Amino acid sequence: MRRLLLLEKAHIEEIDRYDIYRREGGYTSVEKALKSMSPQEVVEEVKKSGLRGRGGAGFPTGLKWSFLDKKSGRPRYLVCNADESEPGTFKDRYLMEKLPHLLIEGLIVSSYALEANRAFIYVRGEFKWIIKILERAIEEARTAGWLGKNILGSGFDLDIVVHPGAGAYICGEETALLESLEGKRGLPRVKPPFPAVVGLYGMPTVVNNVETLAAVPWIVLNGGDAYASIGIGKSTGTKLISACGNIKKPGVYEVELGLSVEEFLYSDEWCGGMEGEYGLKAIVPGGSSVPILPAHLALKTASGQPRLLSYESMADGGFETGSMLGSGGFIVYDEAQCIVRNTYNFARFYHHESCGQCSPCREGTGWLERLLHKIEEGHGTLHDIDLLWDVQKKIEGNTICPLGDAAAWPVASALRHFRQEFEAHVHQPQQCLFRRRASFVFANASVEIA
Amino acid sequence: MLAVRRGKKVEFSPEVLEQAQQIIRRYPEGQQKSALIPLLHLAQEQFGGYLSVEAMDYIAELLHLKPIEVYEVATFYSMFHLKPVGRYVLEVCHTGPCEIKGAEWLIQTLKKKLGIQEGETTADGLFTLRRVECLAACGYAPMLQCGERYYEFLDTEEKVDALLEQLRQNAIT
């Protein structure tokens, strides 16, 4: 059965306007929390719900909240991470376009729980129209008395500021985001100290993804136990999956965690199956950073269980035969796609987006890009394939932030599952199906290399 | 060439200056540097689509920052242009999911139709063509960003022609 907690009202016309949103029951979680719950009670419900960070890491939200330093009495901040930039991921954009007031409602109850009087929404700069949608919605909410001083007579004050980024994938990493919000280059900070203790302007700060915050109103209204009863095991609730690639119906879907990949991919209710004549070759299930899975491991785990859209099932088999649910960026490749070319593309992306602080990432991502370009262009050797493995291994785990890992994993998993394809590019590059189909396009194209 | 000097000072009109002051006031006392990125966006929009040295120096002055603090930020983020650009900057996403849906085709088609290479501007000053990394439109590829908008599913020549025509018309009116 299809269960919608986030997008239940997304189809309602003009639900982005305050009046309509309110008419449909919007902001009742704020009334409930501010009138009948203490901040700590809200935190407890979120803990009970089992909600996990929807940005990609999957860290339990309630636990993250409980780390926030409230004792020192310094100002606390809540920052919403709306820097959606992970290739394959376009869900937060959809949520903010359709339901800006749901995010604002989530920010109000979450700020109340955290006893933070100022919240920021850090939106990637390219989403200019979304910034306008959010600013209008905030203005509407302020006029209606949901923001400002002494909200609903509770004594709780809150202001929300929308802050634009300016094009940098790294700013999706929470400490880089905070640096950027402070008006600096987005260079990730060394942790510890964690933002919960030393965050924005050196103050205790929680950074949560858009989708995470949007899940909080439902939890406050219906209780953490009710939320925890949805989903499967420790993957509670629902998740937005943005599906793209060679499928019939790309788009953003809300699924109850635990839905099988097979059903999600082939059912007409979701992706609608493969778009053309070719069958399934591989899936990147959680955004470009997570390991790629060949068709057989995408649909079933190594032990023969159906692969499910859940944190645990996706990770089943570790990196040898599994992957990660990540951000829910679900990229589907048909048999005519070239894994070498795709891996090169991602390596170029990470090289471009490396902030340059850590040598293994700054230099290593360049090496990955150049080696993969060489192999993709048909000039590679078998030694280059071994070198590729060696370089990614030296990046992984050796950097301040996870961008290094994110650059290494797609390369490692592609080599692990598709080594023959890399070898074929060394021996017979012209046999690549993608290359043959696309030759009319690439004949005159020069691929720039940074 | 890292950045361009125009050779004359620039400043916001009184209305835009008020807008800038409002942005600065959004941040806590003593944290005005937070307004830097929003103000650089505003400056780029106001001063011809790119950030000249004078534009960056002006923002430094507004926020009581050293110019280097502005330069280092302006050079870090890919949305800031440090060289003059055309009226419409066409930024085509070429990251993985867009590539498998024809981003390369879209770039080649635009190059052919506009008669320019990537990074160049058409002689009439209307179009600049760039390739950029993921814009979070993976399900709607191939696509490009132009100004405040995304143009998605640009998978036929007719659609590309229609877009260019529409932008040319907008430039006249």
- pLDDT tens, residue by residue, B25-61: 999 999 999 999 999 999 999 999 999 999 999 999 9
Where among B74, B99, B120 does a domain terminate?
Answer: B74
A446 touches chain B (CB under 8 A): no
B97 and A244: CB-CB below 8 Å? Answer: yes
CATH class of the domain at A238-332: alpha beta
Q: Given a cut of 70, is residue B147 above it in pLDDT?
A: yes
A449 touches chain B (CB under 8 A): no
Q: Give the pLDDT of residue B8.
A: 86
A349 and B72: CB-CB below 8 Å? Answer: no
Q: Check if A18-229 and A339-442 are the same fold.
A: no
Q: Which residue of A has its CA nearest to B144?
A: A126
Residues of chain A neighbouring B118 (CB-CB closer than 8 A): 448
Q: Which residue of A has its CA nearest to B69?
A: A184
Query: In chain B, which among 42-61 make CB contacts under 8 A with chain A?
Result: none
Range of the domain at B66: 14-74
CATH of A18-229, picked from 3.40.50.11540, 3.40.50.720, 3.40.50.620, 3.10.20.30, is 3.40.50.11540
Q: Give the pLDDT of residue A13.
A: 96
Query: In chain B, which among 119-138 make CB contacts under 8 A with chain A?
Result: 132-138
A201 and B135: CB-CB below 8 Å? Answer: no
DSSP chain B: ------SS-----HHHHHHHHHHHHTSPTT-GGGGHHHHHHHHHHHTTTS--HHHHHHHHHHTT--HHHHHHHHTTSTT--SS---SEEEEEE-SHHHHHTTHHHHHHHHHHHHT--TT-B-TTS-EEEEEES--S-GGG-S-EEETTEEE----SHHHHHHHHHHHHHHHH-
CATH architecture of structural domain A339-442? Up-down Bundle (1.20)
CB A33 within 8 A of CB A42: yes
pTM of the model: 0.96
Which of B41, B94, B139 faces A242 most closely, judged by CB atoms?
Answer: B139
Q: Given a cut of 60, is residue B24 above it in pLDDT?
A: yes
Interface residue of B34, B63, B71, B146 to substitute, partner A, most A CBs within 10 Å: B34
Residues of chain B neighbouring A345 (CB-CB closer than 8 A): 94-96, 99
Based on the domain organization, do B93 and B164 belong to the same domain?
yes
B3 found inside a domain: no
Which of B31, B72, B73 faces A201 most closely, judged by CB atoms?
Answer: B31
A89 and B96: CB-CB below 8 Å? Answer: no
ipTM of the complex: 0.96
Q: Which residue of B has its CA nearest to A130?
A: B148
* Bigger pLDDT: B162 vs A432: B162
Return the CATH number at B104: 3.40.30.10
One digit per residue, pLDDT tens: chain A, 450 residues? 578 999 999 999 999 999 999 999 999 999 999 999 999 999 999 999 999 999 999 999 999 999 999 999 999 999 999 999 999 999 999 999 999 999 999 999 999 999 999 999 999 999 999 999 999 999 999 999 999 999 999 999 999 999 999 999 999 999 999 999 999 999 999 999 999 999 999 999 999 999 999 999 999 999 999 999 999 999 999 999 999 999 999 999 999 999 999 999 999 999 999 999 999 999 999 999 999 999 999 999 999 999 999 999 999 999 999 999 999 999 999 999 999 999 999 999 999 999 999 999 999 999 999 999 999 999 999 999 999 999 999 999 999 999 999 999 999 999 999 999 999 999 987 777 666 555 444 444 444 332
Q: Give the pLDDT of residue A440.
A: 43
Query: In chain A, which among 385-444 make CB contacts under 8 A with chain B?
Result: 438, 441-442, 444
Question: In chain B, how many domains are there?
Answer: 2
Q: Give the pLDDT of residue A251.
A: 97
Residues of chain B neighbouring A448 (CB-CB closer than 8 A): 118
